[in-house]
Amino acid sequence: MDIVVYLHESKYKQSTLKVLELLERCKLSCIHKTFKSSDMLEISEVLGEKVRRYPQVVIDGERIGGYYDLVEFLLNKEIINYAGEPQWKKNN
């Protein structure tokens, strides 16, 4: 999976840390793209659709969204279980 996490350089909110921790627990590597502007217009232009908050996760070119959207995506792909734990025995 090609994963890009779009972050704000100084606004590391709890949701940003949760996204990064979840990806790390699942042993999924990602690229960080950092924005300096608080104006969401810049990231919206990069992603090609209106974005309201950081972080934003893009997987294989598809915008997934924030933390809860990432959890739903990983559940649907059977990468994590409902407790948020990796399902390596099933997938690897």
d(CA 63, CA 71) in angstroms, rounded, equals 13
- Going from N- to C-terminal start, the domains of the chain cover 3-91
Smallest Cα–Cα separation from 43: which of 65, 23, 22? 65
Burial-class residue 16 by CB neighbours within 10 Å (0-12, 13-18, 19+). Answer: buried
Residue 74 has pLDDT above 60, yes or no: yes
Could you give the percent of the chain with pLDDT greater than 70? 92
CATH code for residues 3-91: 3.40.30.10
Residue type, 86: P
Residue 11 has pLDDT above 80, yes or no: no
Is-contact 25 87, C-beta < 8 A? no
Residue 6 has pLDDT above 90, yes or no: yes
